[in-house]
Chain A
Amino acid sequence: MRATEAPLLGKPRRRVAVVGAGMSLFVRRALETGKELSYYAASQALETAGVKRREIEAVVMVTAPDAFDGVHMKGEWLLDGAGGAGKPYMRTYVGGGSGVFGLISGWTLVASGLFDLVLVIGEEKMSSCQPHPQGAFLTIFDHTIERPLGPNLLWIFALEQHRYMATYGIRNEDIALVSVKNKRNALDHPAAQVAANLTVNDVLASEVVAWPVHRLMVSPVSDGAAALVLASETVARRLTDKPVWIQGVGWSLDTSYWGNRDLAYPRYVEAAARMAYAMAGVTEPRKQIHIAEPYDPFAYKELHHLEGLLLADKGQAPEDLAQGRFERTGPLPVCPSGGLMGVGNPIAAAGVMKVCELFWQLRGEAGRRQVPGKPERGVAQAWGDLMQIGTVAVLGIH
């Protein structure tokens, strides 16, 4: 399969570390504008890193469709809240994959030798779009051969989940368990929007929105922002004695003819993971990855992505979950943050939140959320566009 060949990699010129992280609260509808949310997250990340905005040499903004805000060139509009005024500034965008892609974009700027200190912000304010932000998603479908059928975003997730279930004989109870785990983990996250203590029966008793997807298997509409400070090795060592290194990054986009893919397996996530693992020197991911933050906008996606990340056998992630492998205290903690299902899903900010979580976990600073066993390496992954992109980053303390 062409899409899953690991690309030949050149050698990055410099090591890059995360030295600071910050977040706003994730809420259903924020009073604050996108600029204000960005400012909250960015200023907190700068403060924790111990650097001033004037020391930041370049800024990367990730934010999803302009249509959410009804503001064309939203990246430029958000610039001031992101601390980008008067600086080399870029917005990068790959739909739901944008959060981790922001880290990747910032990494390229530092690894290349261009800059020593880069700020990465993920922002999303979905609530402005009326009557429902799903309206913005209608335009991802092909205008000639799909939109006349009256689609909505839930269709593609429901179609993919059903194919995944049918291919491997997975039950909806097994998938509901992701919602239960992540919403429970989020009870310990102070930014969380939809943390809850639920049972599998509660999830399956919530209404069917698009079978097999029930309402409590879908992440919420959210407003929020999250930010990271990246530094070159020399600067990172000056700023902190606990830098978290970006050991490997990978990304890959599959065909936009989404019906032409095996919907049961995200091969584009595998391609991205293989690239990141190769760069990080990870040859046995199940042994060498100690903590995972895969993208979970829908419950089944966490399982789908764990398989694409080569952290579970194809079709086996639900079984592993049921046996407790992915609990916060289990052998491979998955979404100890609470994920999108628990903390919330301000799209681009949610991917950055996952990297923030690895930063805190790997430094041993995650408090009540801390996974046991002093994890040394973690993986964060995001996903999006027309169900076609995988963005992957491996972070570690060595």
Chain B
Amino acid sequence: MARTVTPGPRRRPTTASPRMIDAPPRLPMRGTGLSEAEFQKTVATVEWVPALEYGWDTGEAIGRFLAGLRAGKIYGVRCRRCGRTVTPPRAFCELDFKPMDEWVELPPTGTVNTFSVCYVTWDMKPLRKPQVPAVIEIDGTTPRVGFLHLLGGLRGTSVEAVHRQVQIGMPVRAVWKPARERSGAITDILYFEPVRGKGRKA
């Protein structure tokens, strides 16, 4: 059924520049592009919805980190050899390849390393209220050691509105779920919110 398509003007109309015959590869290229309507109506497709379930173990280090979140504390780990303090914690230093040396309790505050204002879901459906994902550097960790979380407590939904309230380098603090609702999950921190009235940090 495959249609042979020779290099030259293709079905996509373009008034820009004509397709040159001499553009390689010179042999005819094959492939049949379908429109959404053709895919939905004229081509037989077989559908399959996988039903796979997983139960993931936390591991030692993340398990202790999650227990800390349930108690309203953010823990990190320190390696004396490279001098780094990192969170989320890990059992071993991936650079020095030795066990981490100590656990440290970190403050629930940090700095915005970067953020986005996301208006689509993973399947590209529009979101009326954007998500504001961010990389947060928790105070007391090594510079440029951040982790993914969300910014919240913001007014408005436009890029401009979000930018009026958040900038890279701004101090933020964790907003926790009420203690009785925490489950020992990353979402025990609802989001980080700007610490208003404080200056920017580098």
Contact = CB atoms under 8 A, between A and B. Distances in A.
Interface residues of B, number: 70
Contacts of A212: 116
A149 B150 contact: yes
A12 to B, nearest CB: 28
Interface string B4-30: 010110101010110110111101011
Interface residues of A, number: 79
Interface in B30-50: 30-36, 39, 43, 47-48, 50
A155 interface: yes
B66 A367 contact: no
Interface string B77-99: 00000000010101000110000
A196 B13 CA distance: 10
Interface of B: 1-2, 5, 7-8, 10, 12, 14, 16-17, 19-20, 22-25, 27, 29-36, 39, 43, 47-48, 50, 54, 56, 58, 62, 65-66, 86, 88, 90, 94-95, 113-124, 131, 133-135, 144-150, 159, 162, 168, 185-187
B120 A188 contact: no
Contacts, number: 216
Interface stretch (A54-62, A76-84, A130-138, A243-251): A130-138
Nearest to A36: B2
B23 A367 contact: yes
A219 interface: no
Contacts of B187: 148-149
A259 B23 contact: no
B5 A25 contact: yes
A210 B120 contact: yes
Contacts of B113: 163, 259, 263
B123 A135 contact: yes
A235 interface: no
A151 B119 CA distance: 12
Nearest to B2: A32
B82 to A, nearest CB: 9
A48 interface: yes
A145 B50 CA distance: 24
A31 B114 contact: no
Given A145-B62, A148-B185, A190-B8, A30 B134 contact: no
B50 A70 contact: yes
6 contacts: A40-B29, A153-B122, A162-B116, A163-B113, A187-B17, A259-B147
Interface stretch (A16-24, A112-120, A270-278, A316-324): A16-24
A31 B24 contact: no
